[in-house]
Amino acid sequence: MVIVIQCADKVGLVATIAGLLQGQNLNIVSMREHVDAIQNRFFARIEISKPVDANTLENQLKAALPEDAQVIVNPNPVKRIIVLATKEYHCLSDILIRNHFNTLGAEVLCVIANHATLQDICQRFDMPFHLISHEGITKEAFEAELDQLMQQYQVDYIVLAKFMRILSPSLVEKYPLKIINIHHSFLPAFIGANPYRQAYERGVKLIGATAHFVTNQLDEGPIIAQQIIPVNHSFTSKDMVKAGKEIETSVLANALQLVFDDKVLVYQNKTVVFE
């Protein structure tokens, strides 16, 4: 069972938490903590030995901690997710394979795409596939249909597996810190469209990928995971795209595992990641 805490820092927080858990005969299996001295912010992820009533424990911890404490007690480690995609298969196929073999740490409820390209691979994994075309309708109408469909599922997270549409602020606000995107550059470099072309034209010697939470600032949400690989003058923009797909798949898989394991805490557009 996992407990995630963030609050204002003060002397004695660890002792307070440990004492409260000890009083209920709960053994701490592991505890990771971090203090942001500049923001005076305390972060912790705790694993305890046995399940308890989540609401009761949350209320007890909140009463013992500073007033602004955010406490999540999550007895269910399997998150429920929806995947949004367009045409590119590499990230989606990796998610579907992990889901099929129960190594994803989450349950994929369905895939929603704005093109039919990936329907076949979803059918191969017996995954429900929904096509919502953006063509011939307004963005507002497209997102209204998308949101209506997503609301039919009780989801913990929405994963943008190369979903090549920019979501409107009104839709993003409905799912705060619940939408995870994979961006094909080492942010904050090369924000927006065609980052590999931008990297090629700039003559960079490293390219990368970034998994982040989606906010209303394009490609500037809290970063979960990043990775880079070297490139050189011999790489064309197509070579960079090919190499980049490998990184994108790896970074997204790593980020999802961290999030699904409740190892990512967000504060003021930054993350604390207990890897």
- More confident call, 202 vs 55: 55
Q: How is the chain split into domains, by residue range?
A: 2-74, 79-273
**Mean pLDDT score, 177-181:** 97
Please say if the pLDDT value at position 100 is more than 90.
Answer: yes
Selection from 134, 215, 144 nearest residue 181 by Cα: 215
Q: How confident is the model at residue 60 (pLDDT cuts 50, 70, 90)?
A: very high
Round to whole Å and give the CA distance between 207 and 195: 9
Which two structure tokens, joined as six digits, stand for 171? 């839709």
**Mean pLDDT score, 47-51:** 89
Asked whether the domain spanning 79-273 has the same topology as the one spanning 2-74, the reply is no
pLDDT at residue number 106: 96
CATH number of the 2-74 domain: 3.30.70.260
Q: What's the chain's average pLDDT?
A: 91
pLDDT at residue number 271: 97
Q: Give Cα separations from 1 to 64, 146, 227 (angstroms).
A: 20, 34, 30
- Model confidence over 4-38: pLDDT tens digits? 999 999 999 999 999 999 999 999 999 999 999 99
Q: Which residue among 36, 94, 120, 219 is the active-site one?
A: 219
pLDDT at residue number 223: 95
Q: How many Cα atoms sit within 13 Å of 268 on the Cβ side? A: 7
- Assigned CATH class of 79-273: alpha beta
- Model confidence over 184-217: pLDDT tens digits? 776 666 666 677 677 777 777 777 889 999 998 8
Three-state SS sequence of the chain: CEEEEEEECCCCHHHHHHHHHHHCCCCEEEEEEEEECCCCEEEEEEEECCCCCHHHHHHHHHHHCCCCCEEEEECCCCEEEEEEECCCCHHHHHHHHHHHCCCCCEEEEEEEECCCCCHHHHHHCCCCEEECCCCCCCHHHHHHHHHHHHCCCCCCEEEECCCCCCCCHHHHHHCCCCEEEEECCCCCCCCCCCHHHHHHHHCCCEEEEEEEECCCCCCCCCEEEEEEEECCCCCCHHHHHHHHHHHHHHHHHHHHHHHHCCCEEEECCEEEECC
Q: Per the confidence metrics, is the pTM higher than 0.85?
A: yes
Q: Is 36 a catalytic residue?
A: no
pLDDT at residue number 45: 97
Min mean pLDDT across 16-30, 86-100, 174-188, 260-274 is at 174-188
- More confident call, 88 vs 218: 88
